[in-house]
Protein backbone atom coordinates (compact mmCIF):
# COMPACT_ATOMS: atom_id res chain seq x y z
CA UNK A 1 0.00 0.00 0.00
CA UNK A 2 1.41 3.40 -0.93
CA UNK A 3 1.89 6.16 1.60
CA UNK A 4 -0.49 9.06 0.95
CA UNK A 5 1.34 12.12 -0.32
CA UNK A 6 0.79 14.67 2.42
CA UNK A 7 3.67 16.95 1.44
CA UNK A 8 6.30 17.16 -1.24
CA UNK A 9 9.78 18.08 -0.03
CA UNK A 10 11.51 20.82 -2.00
CA UNK A 11 15.28 20.67 -1.81
CA UNK A 12 16.80 23.86 -3.27
CA UNK A 13 20.53 24.19 -3.75
CA UNK A 14 20.34 27.91 -2.86
CA UNK A 15 23.98 28.20 -3.89
CA UNK A 16 25.42 31.40 -2.45
CA UNK A 17 28.10 31.90 -5.07
CA UNK A 18 25.95 31.76 -8.20
CA UNK A 19 23.12 33.94 -9.55
CA UNK A 20 21.27 30.67 -10.26
CA UNK A 21 21.39 29.97 -6.54
CA UNK A 22 19.49 33.18 -5.90
CA UNK A 23 16.98 32.29 -8.63
CA UNK A 24 16.61 28.91 -6.94
CA UNK A 25 16.04 30.44 -3.54
CA UNK A 26 13.46 32.98 -4.71
CA UNK A 27 11.59 30.55 -6.96
CA UNK A 28 11.35 27.92 -4.24
CA UNK A 29 10.07 30.50 -1.74
CA UNK A 30 7.40 31.52 -4.25
CA UNK A 31 6.28 27.92 -4.59
CA UNK A 32 6.33 27.37 -0.83
CA UNK A 33 4.51 30.62 -0.01
CA UNK A 34 2.14 31.08 -2.93
CA UNK A 35 1.91 28.58 -5.76
CA UNK A 36 1.88 25.32 -3.79
CA UNK A 37 1.79 26.48 -0.20
CA UNK A 38 -0.25 23.59 1.17
CA UNK A 39 1.59 20.84 -0.61
CA UNK A 40 5.25 21.63 -0.17
CA UNK A 41 7.81 22.01 2.57
CA UNK A 42 11.39 23.22 2.29
CA UNK A 43 14.23 20.91 3.17
CA UNK A 44 17.44 22.66 4.15
CA UNK A 45 20.17 20.90 2.20
CA UNK A 46 23.13 21.46 4.56
CA UNK A 47 21.08 19.95 7.37
CA UNK A 48 21.60 16.59 5.73
CA UNK A 49 25.12 16.57 7.13
CA UNK A 50 24.59 18.89 10.08
CA UNK A 51 22.68 16.28 12.02
CA UNK A 52 19.25 16.97 10.59
CA UNK A 53 17.60 13.62 11.32
CA UNK A 54 14.24 15.27 10.77
CA UNK A 55 15.24 16.40 7.27
CA UNK A 56 16.75 13.06 6.35
CA UNK A 57 13.75 11.19 7.68
CA UNK A 58 11.27 13.43 5.90
CA UNK A 59 13.11 13.11 2.60
CA UNK A 60 13.23 9.34 3.02
CA UNK A 61 9.47 9.05 3.68
CA UNK A 62 8.12 11.65 1.26
CA UNK A 63 8.66 12.42 -2.41
CA UNK A 64 11.28 15.09 -2.99
CA UNK A 65 11.90 17.49 -5.85
CA UNK A 66 15.40 18.90 -6.06
CA UNK A 67 16.21 22.24 -7.69
CA UNK A 68 19.80 22.83 -8.72
CA UNK A 69 21.48 25.94 -10.05
CA UNK A 70 24.38 24.30 -11.86
CA UNK A 71 25.64 21.06 -13.34
CA UNK A 72 27.24 20.03 -10.07
CA UNK A 73 23.72 19.15 -8.96
CA UNK A 74 24.44 19.36 -5.23
CA UNK A 75 20.79 19.09 -4.21
CA UNK A 76 20.07 16.00 -6.29
CA UNK A 77 23.29 14.25 -5.30
CA UNK A 78 22.99 15.04 -1.58
CA UNK A 79 19.34 14.00 -1.44
CA UNK A 80 20.12 10.68 -3.07
CA UNK A 81 23.16 10.18 -0.88
CA UNK A 82 21.51 10.89 2.45
CA UNK A 83 17.85 10.04 1.96
CA UNK A 84 16.66 8.60 -1.31
CA UNK A 85 16.38 9.29 -5.01
CA UNK A 86 14.34 12.45 -5.72
CA UNK A 87 11.21 11.92 -7.81
CA UNK A 88 12.15 14.93 -9.94
CA UNK A 89 15.52 16.65 -10.31
CA UNK A 90 15.23 20.09 -11.90
CA UNK A 91 18.14 22.08 -13.30
CA UNK A 92 17.72 25.85 -13.59
CA UNK A 93 19.98 26.41 -16.64
CA UNK A 94 17.88 23.84 -18.54
CA UNK A 95 14.60 25.46 -17.51
CA UNK A 96 15.75 28.92 -18.61
CA UNK A 97 17.29 27.64 -21.85
CA UNK A 98 14.06 25.88 -22.79
CA UNK A 99 12.17 29.14 -22.39
CA UNK A 100 14.81 31.35 -23.96
CA UNK A 101 15.30 33.35 -20.75
CA UNK A 102 18.81 34.59 -19.95
CA UNK A 103 20.42 33.62 -16.66
CA UNK A 104 20.61 36.59 -14.24
CA UNK A 105 24.09 37.91 -13.69
CA UNK A 106 23.96 39.29 -10.16
CA UNK A 107 23.88 37.51 -6.84
CA UNK A 108 21.36 39.72 -5.05
CA UNK A 109 19.11 42.71 -5.32
CA UNK A 110 16.87 41.01 -7.85
CA UNK A 111 14.22 43.18 -9.48
CA UNK A 112 12.16 43.41 -12.65
CA UNK A 113 15.08 42.32 -14.82
CA UNK A 114 15.34 38.96 -13.10
CA UNK A 115 11.62 38.40 -12.56
CA UNK A 116 11.09 36.34 -15.74
CA UNK A 117 13.74 33.85 -14.64
CA UNK A 118 12.37 33.52 -11.11
CA UNK A 119 8.79 33.11 -12.33
CA UNK A 120 9.74 30.54 -14.98
CA UNK A 121 11.55 28.40 -12.45
CA UNK A 122 8.73 28.76 -9.91
CA UNK A 123 6.16 27.67 -12.51
CA UNK A 124 8.25 24.68 -13.51
CA UNK A 125 8.61 23.60 -9.89
CA UNK A 126 4.86 24.02 -9.35
CA UNK A 127 4.14 21.89 -12.43
CA UNK A 128 6.48 19.23 -11.12
CA UNK A 129 4.68 19.26 -7.77
CA UNK A 130 1.31 18.92 -9.49
CA UNK A 131 2.64 16.00 -11.51
CA UNK A 132 3.93 14.18 -8.45
CA UNK A 133 0.69 14.75 -6.54
CA UNK A 134 -1.41 13.56 -9.49
CA UNK A 135 0.73 10.46 -9.89
CA UNK A 136 0.46 9.63 -6.21
CA UNK A 137 -3.30 10.11 -6.23
CA UNK A 138 -3.66 7.88 -9.28
CA UNK A 139 -1.69 5.18 -7.47
CA UNK A 140 -3.86 5.59 -4.40
CA UNK A 141 -7.01 5.27 -6.49
CA UNK A 142 -5.62 2.17 -8.13
CA UNK A 143 -4.93 0.57 -4.77
CA UNK A 144 -8.38 1.60 -3.54
CA UNK A 145 -10.08 0.02 -6.55
CA UNK A 146 -8.44 -3.39 -6.02
CA UNK B 1 55.57 40.78 -0.43
CA UNK B 2 54.28 38.47 2.24
CA UNK B 3 52.27 35.45 1.28
CA UNK B 4 50.01 36.01 4.26
CA UNK B 5 49.03 39.49 3.11
CA UNK B 6 47.40 38.14 -0.02
CA UNK B 7 45.60 35.28 1.70
CA UNK B 8 41.91 35.04 0.92
CA UNK B 9 39.35 34.48 3.63
CA UNK B 10 36.42 32.19 2.91
CA UNK B 11 33.02 33.38 4.13
CA UNK B 12 30.37 30.68 4.15
CA UNK B 13 26.73 31.49 4.80
CA UNK B 14 23.86 29.27 5.80
CA UNK B 15 21.74 28.15 2.84
CA UNK B 16 18.49 28.19 4.74
CA UNK B 17 15.43 29.52 2.94
CA UNK B 18 13.04 29.29 5.86
CA UNK B 19 14.11 32.01 8.24
CA UNK B 20 14.97 35.70 8.21
CA UNK B 21 18.24 34.93 9.98
CA UNK B 22 19.36 32.75 7.08
CA UNK B 23 18.61 35.56 4.66
CA UNK B 24 20.57 37.93 6.90
CA UNK B 25 23.54 35.54 6.97
CA UNK B 26 23.55 35.29 3.19
CA UNK B 27 23.24 39.04 2.67
CA UNK B 28 26.03 39.72 5.17
CA UNK B 29 28.34 37.28 3.39
CA UNK B 30 27.64 38.93 0.03
CA UNK B 31 28.19 42.38 1.53
CA UNK B 32 31.62 41.25 2.68
CA UNK B 33 32.53 39.62 -0.61
CA UNK B 34 31.15 42.25 -2.97
CA UNK B 35 31.39 45.58 -1.12
CA UNK B 36 33.48 45.54 2.04
CA UNK B 37 36.41 43.25 1.20
CA UNK B 38 36.23 42.31 -2.49
CA UNK B 39 39.19 40.23 -3.58
CA UNK B 40 40.03 39.29 0.00
CA UNK B 41 36.76 37.79 1.20
CA UNK B 42 35.46 35.06 -1.06
CA UNK B 43 32.62 32.63 -0.80
CA UNK B 44 31.51 29.25 -2.07
CA UNK B 45 28.22 27.46 -2.28
CA UNK B 46 27.71 25.65 1.01
CA UNK B 47 25.97 22.69 -0.68
CA UNK B 48 29.25 21.92 -2.46
CA UNK B 49 30.63 20.86 0.90
CA UNK B 50 27.67 18.56 1.40
CA UNK B 51 28.63 16.61 -1.73
CA UNK B 52 32.34 16.86 -0.88
CA UNK B 53 33.22 18.77 -4.05
CA UNK B 54 37.04 18.68 -4.38
CA UNK B 55 37.45 22.35 -5.38
CA UNK B 56 35.27 23.63 -2.55
CA UNK B 57 36.95 21.28 -0.10
CA UNK B 58 40.37 22.53 -1.17
CA UNK B 59 39.31 26.18 -0.83
CA UNK B 60 38.02 25.63 2.68
CA UNK B 61 40.95 23.52 3.84
CA UNK B 62 43.59 25.94 2.60
CA UNK B 63 42.13 29.26 3.77
CA UNK B 64 40.82 30.80 6.98
CA UNK B 65 37.06 30.41 7.26
CA UNK B 66 34.28 32.55 8.71
CA UNK B 67 30.87 30.90 8.93
CA UNK B 68 27.63 32.84 9.17
CA UNK B 69 24.76 30.72 10.44
CA UNK B 70 21.10 31.58 10.62
CA UNK B 71 20.08 29.23 13.41
CA UNK B 72 21.58 27.18 16.24
CA UNK B 73 21.68 24.11 14.01
CA UNK B 74 24.80 25.78 12.61
CA UNK B 75 24.83 24.06 9.22
CA UNK B 76 27.62 26.21 7.83
CA UNK B 77 29.92 25.62 10.79
CA UNK B 78 29.15 21.91 10.96
CA UNK B 79 29.65 21.48 7.22
CA UNK B 80 33.18 22.83 7.60
CA UNK B 81 33.85 20.79 10.73
CA UNK B 82 32.69 17.66 8.90
CA UNK B 83 35.74 18.11 6.69
CA UNK B 84 37.98 18.03 9.75
CA UNK B 85 38.62 21.76 9.75
CA UNK B 86 38.07 24.11 12.67
CA UNK B 87 36.23 27.28 11.74
CA UNK B 88 38.34 30.36 12.48
CA UNK B 89 35.40 32.60 13.30
CA UNK B 90 31.90 31.11 13.62
CA UNK B 91 29.06 33.63 13.85
CA UNK B 92 25.30 33.43 14.26
CA UNK B 93 23.58 36.22 12.37
CA UNK B 94 21.14 36.93 15.19
CA UNK B 95 24.00 38.32 17.29
CA UNK B 96 24.13 41.38 15.04
CA UNK B 97 20.48 42.08 15.75
CA UNK B 98 21.13 41.63 19.46
CA UNK B 99 23.73 44.38 19.18
CA UNK B 100 21.63 46.63 16.92
CA UNK B 101 18.04 46.25 18.00
CA UNK B 102 16.98 49.35 16.10
CA UNK B 103 17.48 47.34 12.89
CA UNK B 104 14.86 44.58 12.92
CA UNK B 105 15.23 42.32 9.89
CA UNK B 106 12.11 40.88 8.28
CA UNK B 107 11.47 38.84 5.19
CA UNK B 108 12.89 35.59 3.94
CA UNK B 109 13.03 35.79 0.15
CA UNK B 110 14.02 39.45 0.35
CA UNK B 111 15.08 41.30 3.47
CA UNK B 112 13.36 44.54 4.39
CA UNK B 113 15.30 47.83 4.43
CA UNK B 114 16.28 47.40 8.08
CA UNK B 115 17.57 43.92 7.34
CA UNK B 116 19.65 45.13 4.41
CA UNK B 117 21.08 47.89 6.60
CA UNK B 118 21.84 45.39 9.36
CA UNK B 119 23.72 43.23 6.84
CA UNK B 120 25.84 46.25 5.90
CA UNK B 121 26.57 46.97 9.54
CA UNK B 122 27.41 43.33 10.21
CA UNK B 123 29.76 43.16 7.23
CA UNK B 124 31.48 46.35 8.32
CA UNK B 125 32.00 44.86 11.77
CA UNK B 126 33.34 41.61 10.33
CA UNK B 127 35.82 43.46 8.12
CA UNK B 128 38.37 43.68 10.95
CA UNK B 129 38.13 39.90 11.45
CA UNK B 130 38.66 39.35 7.73
CA UNK B 131 41.70 41.62 7.78
CA UNK B 132 43.23 39.81 10.76
CA UNK B 133 42.68 36.39 9.21
CA UNK B 134 43.98 37.55 5.83
CA UNK B 135 47.14 38.76 7.53
CA UNK B 136 47.62 35.37 9.14
CA UNK B 137 46.33 36.27 12.58
CA UNK B 138 43.66 34.73 14.73
CA UNK B 139 40.34 36.14 15.87
| Sequence ranges of the domains in chain B | 4-133
The span from the CA of B62 to the CA of B70, in Å, is: 25
Distance from CA of A58 to the nearest CA of B (A): 16
Distance from CA of B121 to the nearest CA of A (A): 17
Number of CB atoms found within 10 A of residue B69's CB:
27
Planar angle of CA A47, A50, A51, nearest 5 degrees: 95
pLDDT of residue A48: 77
Picking from B13, B26, B73, the nearest residue to A50 by CB comes out as B73
Architecture of domain B4-133: 3-Layer(aba) Sandwich (3.40)
pLDDT along chain B (139 residues), means of 10: 66 90 96 97 95 95 97 92 96 97 94 97 98 90
pLDDT of residue B9: 98
Number of CB atoms found within 10 A of residue A92's CB:
27
Give the DSSP H/E element, type plus range, for residue A37.
none
Query: Does ipTM surpass 0.85 in this model?
Result: yes
Contact A16 B82 (CB under 8 A): no
pLDDT digits (tens, 9 = 90+) for A90-117: 999 999 999 999 999 999 999 999 999 9
Picking from A18, A51, A77, the nearest residue to B51 by CB comes out as A77
The span from the CA of A92 to the CA of B39, in Å, is: 28
Q: Quick one: which of B117, B118, B114, B111 has its CA closest to B93?
A: B118
Parallel/antiparallel/unpaired status of strands A88-91 and A64-68? parallel
More confident residue, A50 or B79: B79
Exposure string over A97-125, b if 16+ CB within 10 A, otherwise e:
eeeebeebeebbebeeebeebbbbbbbbb
Chain A positions touching chain B (beta carbons under 8 Å): 12-18, 21, 25-26, 28-30, 32-33, 42, 44-52, 69, 72, 74-75, 77-78, 81, 107-108, 110
Q: Quick one: which of B85, B122, B107 has its CA closest to A29?
A: B107
Structure confidence at residue A141 as a pLDDT band (50, 70, 90): confident
Picking from B12, B27, B47, the nearest residue to A45 by CB comes out as B47
pLDDT of residue A59: 76
pLDDT digits (tens, 9 = 90+) for A3-43: 555 789 999 998 999 999 999 999 999 999 999 999 999 98
pLDDT digits (tens, 9 = 90+) for A57-89: 777 788 999 999 999 999 999 999 888 899 999
Amino acid sequence: MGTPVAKIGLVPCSGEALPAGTVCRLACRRVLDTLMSGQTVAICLPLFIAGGEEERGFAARHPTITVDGCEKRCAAKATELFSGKPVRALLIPDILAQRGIPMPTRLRGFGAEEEAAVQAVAETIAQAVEGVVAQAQAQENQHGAV
Amino acid sequence: MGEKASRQVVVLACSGIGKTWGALARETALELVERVRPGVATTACLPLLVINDPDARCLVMEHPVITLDGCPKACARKSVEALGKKVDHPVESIQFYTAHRELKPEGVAQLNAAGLKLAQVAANELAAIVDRLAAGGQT
